[in-house]
Structure 1
Amino acid sequence: MLVLEPLHKGDRQLHILTVTVFCGLGILLAGLWYVQVLSRKRFQEEQVAQSLRTVRLPAVRGRILDRSGEALAENRPSYNVSLYVEELSKQFKAAYQGLLSAETNRVWQTFRRKLTREERAQVGRWARYYVVSNIVYRLGLLLEHPVQLEPAEFHRHYEERLALPLPVLQNLNSNQVARLQELTGMPPGLDLDIQPMRVYQFGATAAHVLGYLRKDETSREGEEAFYNYRLPDYEGVIGVEGYFDAQLRGRAGAKSVLVNSLGYRQSESIWAPPEAGRCVVLTIDVHLQQAVEKALAGVENQTGLPARGAAVVLDASNGDILALASIPAYNPGDFIPSISRSQMAQLNDEYMRPLINRATQERYPPGSIFKIVTALAALEAGILNPEELLQNPGHIQVGNRTIKDTAPPGDYDFKRALKLSSNTYFIHYGLKAGLSRILQMGRKFHLGEPWQLPTFQNDGGIFPTTESIRRQASRGDLWTDGDTANLCIGQGAIAVNPLQMAVMTAAVANGGRVYWPRLVQRIEPMEPDSNEQITHFPHRLYDELGVAEHHLRLLRDAMLADVEDSDGTGRRAAVPGLRICGKTGTAEIKKGQQVVDKVTWFVSFAPYEQPRYVVVVMVESGVSGGHTCAPVAGQIYRALLSRLYLKT
């Protein structure tokens, strides 16, 4: 052998090298034997004990923007302090040994017995909570803000969600974040992390349009169905947040967390990143919306009652909704992360009902604003000469019933009858035109049908049909001239909402075109430079009245007189330099023969020369349409002027 031969010749260096090589090989073989034979069982147990936990990762929710791009609902970073429990295993062990020794001695001295397995486990639970509670207490001292961690909350997290960090303090303010960042060393196990949080920077503004969220961590169609853990996520319940929840919510991602036999996190990897939601752009102007809500809230100063009402501002030329207000409202941010019981009790108040969108999903008698429909039915029937005078004795007799007139006795032509809102005049010509013509005209305005806004808050109201009248008669309740008289003045078997009245008024203003009210302009990707497709919602001409233009002109002229003439019921809506056309209404709510409440209205459009914007105001328990609603409309027109929608 070439190697051994020099050894026999006494080569000392080569001898040492050879011995070293053989010793190294021996150590290596010994190590392999230790790993493969002696430690085989331990490694097998660790491999079995290690397992993967899958975690659902919610996507960033898309924003909701007004027509000019201002965010009504968006996500802002929420700074939270979380506790990574796996980093405290040494502290847990030390605390456990100390508490176990003390408890063992106590039980032996008191009961002369050893601790049971359950008692040892309980000592372990309290040892862990002792360590964590001290860390949380130190955090409170550092922030100068008391921080509490309930034992049940910690134990539940340790037993069910150990692989995830434990939220300790959420939504820190800027001062608290600065304090933590200035620390040279954070208490053990604590870390500052950032999560997106849904915020509504304008508070309760447009609350019913936006809707609200609730916690929901379930998988959506196309997602993995099974996860070990799910991070907090939300779903839209109502409003735009609810209707477009799938688009706003995006697509959840997923990660895998490797945990050891104790459940502590070892490592993690994201294998499906979340896909952010898309943005919804509305037709609403948020600053106009604020002005409308402020004007509505001001009626409390006049009535002395909490304000309850709604207002709609509509573009008569295309159906765009510029403002859709309902009061009282709520703050959608109160539902993040969850709403308290006391707040929910206020929202369920049976009198105020702030969760109800009074603009689209409630039913109200229209009162005298329905005389617009009655007038068009009579004009189209050819039985109403607008110049002809009708004597009003202050009441009208229909069968055995005397219906009082709120307008003073005297002679009335069409314009005077509309601006003073004479019941006698419109009942007379309504009965003369006949029920079928009134019903036909109402159907042209699509009364009784809901305008399906993407909010889940729609109601079609009540409007009689030939079939419903036939069914009523089959039950022995015959339709009479008295019922028709009620309908002529917006009472009885009819109920509407402010949005329906806005669409009706817009059709009168624009020459007979019935536009579908549009609330959403488009849905677009979160990132402007994205190649994702933009979904547009174009304007939609739904129907045409098919009435003579000169009849609409007569009606517009009479509505102008209602605001501009000194004796018009709508004169309190007047704005200098702006020609506003309007009609007031005051509907009575009766129990038996007693009037228990009123619903007051004002429907209008401007400018008279080139009608563009419709303003409809409804107030519950108002004094009258002229006293309560017309001044609110005037304030809204001033806001339209200030927003440069209108020019004097």
Structure 2
Amino acid sequence: MKRSPRDSLETTRKMTRRGLILGGAQAGFMGLLALRMRHLQVEEADKFRLLAEENRIKVSLIPPSRGQIFDRNGRIVAENAPSYRITMVREDAGDVEAVIGRLMKLIELDPDEMARALDELNTLRGDTQVTVADRVSREAMSRVAVNAPALPGVTPEVGLSRHYPLGSDLAHVVGYVGPVSDYDLSKIDNPDQLLLTPRFQIGKIGLEAKHEEDLRGKAGIKQVEVNAAGREMRELDREEGRAGQDFQITVDHMLQNYVQARLGQESAAAVVIDCESGDLLAIASAPSFDPNLFVRGISTTDYRALTENQFRPLATKSVQGLYPPGSTFKMVAALAGLEAGIITPLDTHYCGGYTEVAGHRFHCWKRAGHGHVNLASSLRESCDVYYYNLALEVGIEKISAMAMRLGIGQKFDIPMSAVATGRAPTKAWKQKSFGKDWVIGDSVNASIGQGFVLASPLQLAVMSARIATGRALVPRLVKSIDGVEQPSGAGESLGLNENHLRHVRKAMFDVSNNRRGTAYGSRITAAGMQMAGKTGTSQVRNITAAERRAGVRSNRDLPWERRDHALFVDFAPYDNPKVAVAVVVEHGGGGSTTAAPIARDITLQALYGEDPPLSAYPAKDRARIAAQQKRLRQARPASDRDGNGRA
């Protein structure tokens, strides 16, 4: 059939339109190809050149700089020191043993450290950076860098490692860091990738552990061009992390150093609190240890020496140790009776050396007794019988409530390890703990700080400070974080009757300043500096009736672990309290003979801020104190002494 001219024209138009569409599509496709080729050949040229040359881009974390820690005067107590190390990545090294063999010809490798590194290289992911040599010299670093082409996967690095310039002085307070362990990781649900880096250090105890995340900061990321030989060619990109926060603690390192030196090798603890702010000016446990030993992993020998020491240098006795407070608890019982209106300061009891309660004889420390005693003389001479009778009248519930009010049985929120709660026992507590009823003998024992009552040196210092000020003072260890001042621990009023507090304070003053006081031999003689205190001696063994008849054995005739604990608490100056102090000497014997002299010396050092004048001591002690001051000055860091050896 012959087509009409009109149909032919329409067909031609359709063909032309389709041809244009198809041609446009082809042109567009070619244009896209051209743009893609330009992108690959021009804009991505460097990347493909790296691939063509068998180079690659390595992405790695940038460990943040750990926050530093300073004392209250700005003295650094935890810093970051440069550390040179050699690392290896298994997938880059290829033949690991061959590379290590070549590395051993260049630098000396510790066999134990090398064994650990090989284990990590074999078990961790192939792209993990493993430290094969730590704390190497600059010369060793240079030799490795020069021979990099022969050491694929090996990288010399400069990092930062924790250092504690004051050594053992603040070990229990600041704590230490150490390599992340499997146990550490097991306690974290979603660990930061930084923690998976071999040998990365985190806080293990003390402030370092309690504020780990704040001190650690946040890691950065960098991209580095690495050639086929493993040499880093250039840094392509870097995203900075965030440095850890700096901490300033309330402790005065000079006072802390003195306290540690004064405690010496005793198994003991001492706490000094600022009565205005609650700042912990010193918080020491003895003996101490060098935290630098733990930073890169302590040796078996060093660790065994610490754990096998019967004086337990690793224990933070100042906050972790719990002790029967002994006669230092008598102020608690006295205030409980006064506040309840059950006793008055003038009420007397007769002490004939013992009292009988429910058919059991409770003895006073003074076998012959004290005669008639009132509140003031009972504290001054530490009569036990007065408090036995007080407990019968007041009852354990009121005594325990006052103990809590004064800080015993409270767990204070300070960033130290194993802070203990202590114990202010009640009838309900005994029933819950032992399934037994409270008996009257329990109250009698508790009235003199024995039996179920337990307190830490920190709690005893808080108790003394609260009696001195009448405020619910709270201990503070962190002064500022990155320059931001932390809340004061000054506290509000305890709501106690001021007249009752005055009677107790005056009795404590007589303990140290009246000739009949149990701490008169450790008094402060400087005008305006006198302290108010209380001795305490807590038993750690039962004394049988037979031993009492034959004569109680003295502490010096007993094995060390069976001797009484020695305690002393005080505040000073009496008229305007500035510091409160607590000292506990484990198995030290008598509080008046062992703990009181130490506490007096620490109190004076805190008040003067330096070695006090000899006139502050009783004349009979001055020659001994002069020799002691000279000896203790030598224990201070050289940087804290002038050319004459004085601070």
TM-score by length of 1: 0.74
Structure 2 counterpart of 1:519: 477
Partner Cα separation in structure 2 for residue 135 and residue 470 of structure 1: 70
Distance of aligned partners of 1:312 and 1:266 in 2 relative to their CA distance in 1, 3 Å threshold:
same
1:241 equivalent among 184, 208, 227: 208
Partner Cα separation in structure 2 for residue 555 and residue 225 of structure 1: 54
Distance of aligned partners of 1:168 and 1:426 in 2 relative to their CA distance in 1, 3 Å threshold:
closer
Structure 1 counterpart of 2:494: 545
Partner Cα separation in structure 2 for residue 317 and residue 441 of structure 1: 22
Residue 131, structure 1, aligned to residue 96, structure 2: no
Distance of aligned partners of 1:507 and 1:226 in 2 relative to their CA distance in 1, 3 Å threshold:
closer
Distance of aligned partners of 1:631 and 1:158 in 2 relative to their CA distance in 1, 3 Å threshold:
closer
Structure 2 counterpart of 1:374: 333
Structure 2 counterpart of 1:345: 304
Distance of aligned partners of 1:486 and 1:374 in 2 relative to their CA distance in 1, 3 Å threshold:
same
How many Å apart are 1:163 and its aligned residue?
A: 9.1
Residue 329, structure 1, aligned to residue 296, structure 2: no
Partner Cα separation in structure 1 for residue 176 and residue 114 of structure 2: 32
Give the AA of the match of 2:537: T
Partner Cα separation in structure 2 for residue 627 and residue 228 of structure 1: 50
Partner Cα separation in structure 2 for residue 401 and residue 192 of structure 1: 75
- Aligned partners of 2:176 and 2:291 also within 8 Å: yes
Residue 400, structure 1, aligned to residue 371, structure 2: no
1:282 equivalent among 239, 245, 249: 249
Equivalent positions of 1:73-112 (< 5 A) are 73-78=78-83, 80=84, 82=86
TM-score by length of 2: 0.74
What value does the CA root-mean-square deviation take over the aligned residues?
A: 3.9
Distance of aligned partners of 1:598 and 1:556 in 2 relative to their CA distance in 1, 3 Å threshold:
same
How many Å apart are 1:134 and its aligned residue?
A: 2.4
- Aligned partners of 1:368 and 1:490 also within 8 Å: yes
How many Å apart are 1:216 and its aligned residue?
A: 2.8
Structure 2 counterpart of 1:64: 69
Give the AA of the match of 2:448: I
Partner Cα separation in structure 2 for residue 608 and residue 462 of structure 1: 29
Distance of aligned partners of 1:560 and 1:266 in 2 relative to their CA distance in 1, 3 Å threshold:
same
Partner Cα separation in structure 2 for residue 603 and residue 75 of structure 1: 38
Partner Cα separation in structure 2 for residue 568 and residue 200 of structure 1: 43
Residue 500, structure 1, aligned to residue 464, structure 2: no
Give the AA of the match of 1:514: A
Partner Cα separation in structure 1 for residue 194 and residue 605 of structure 2: 52
Distance of aligned partners of 1:229 and 1:257 in 2 relative to their CA distance in 1, 3 Å threshold:
farther
Distance of aligned partners of 1:165 and 1:586 in 2 relative to their CA distance in 1, 3 Å threshold:
closer
Structure 1 counterpart of 2:21: none
Give the AA of the match of 1:459: A
2:421 equivalent among 446, 460, 463: 460
How many Å apart are 1:187 and its aligned residue?
A: 6.0
Residue 201, structure 1, aligned to residue 165, structure 2: yes
Give the AA of the match of 1:245: E
How many Å apart are 1:404 and its aligned residue?
A: 1.2
Distance of aligned partners of 1:165 and 1:614 in 2 relative to their CA distance in 1, 3 Å threshold:
closer
Give the AA of the match of 1:59: P
How many Å apart are 1:148 and its aligned residue?
A: 7.3
Distance of aligned partners of 1:294 and 1:572 in 2 relative to their CA distance in 1, 3 Å threshold:
farther
* Percent pairwise identity: 30
2:403 equivalent among 418, 442, 462: 442
Structure 2 counterpart of 1:638: 604
Q: Which has the higher contact order (CA 8 A, sep 6+)?
A: 1
Structure 2 counterpart of 1:622: 588
1:320 equivalent among 279, 285, 305: 279
Give the AA of the match of 1:516: V
Give the AA of the match of 1:354: P
2:373 equivalent among 412, 416, 431: 412
Structure 1 counterpart of 2:238: 271
- Aligned partners of 2:113 and 2:133 also within 8 Å: no
Secondary structure at the aligned position of 1:317 is classed as coil
Give the AA of the match of 2:64: A
How many Å apart are 1:559 and its aligned residue?
A: 0.7
Secondary structure at the aligned position of 2:566 is classed as strand
Between Structure 1 and Structure 2, how many residues are aligned? 538
- Aligned partners of 1:129 and 1:151 also within 8 Å: no
How many Å apart are 1:275 and its aligned residue?
A: 2.1
Distance of aligned partners of 1:401 and 1:335 in 2 relative to their CA distance in 1, 3 Å threshold:
same
Distance of aligned partners of 1:332 and 1:431 in 2 relative to their CA distance in 1, 3 Å threshold:
same
Partner Cα separation in structure 1 for residue 190 and residue 437 of structure 2: 57
Partner Cα separation in structure 2 for residue 185 and residue 53 of structure 1: 20
- Aligned partners of 2:427 and 2:438 also within 8 Å: no
Structure 2 counterpart of 1:391: 350
Partner Cα separation in structure 2 for residue 77 and residue 293 of structure 1: 29
Give the AA of the match of 1:396: T
How many Å apart are 1:231 and its aligned residue?
A: 6.6
Give the AA of the match of 1:561: D
Equivalent positions of 1:470-481 (< 5 A) are 470-471=431-432, 475=435, 477-481=436-440
1:582 equivalent among 518, 530, 533: 533
Unaligned runs of 5+ in 1: 1-35, 37-42, 90-120, 138-145, 301-306, 525-533
Partner Cα separation in structure 1 for residue 320 and residue 313 of structure 2: 12
How many Å apart are 1:262 and its aligned residue?
A: 7.1
Secondary structure at the aligned position of 1:605 is classed as strand
Give the AA of the match of 1:547: L
Equivalent positions of 1:428-439 (< 5 A) are 428-439=389-400
Partner Cα separation in structure 2 for residue 260 and residue 195 of structure 1: 23
Partner Cα separation in structure 1 for residue 329 and residue 601 of structure 2: 24
Structure 2 counterpart of 1:571: 520
Residue deviations 1:300-358, cap 9 Å, x none?
5xxxxxx2111000011221110001112222211121111222223333733322211
Residue 608, structure 1, aligned to residue 557, structure 2: no
Give the AA of the match of 1:135: L
Structure 2 counterpart of 1:213: 177
Distance of aligned partners of 1:229 and 1:458 in 2 relative to their CA distance in 1, 3 Å threshold:
closer
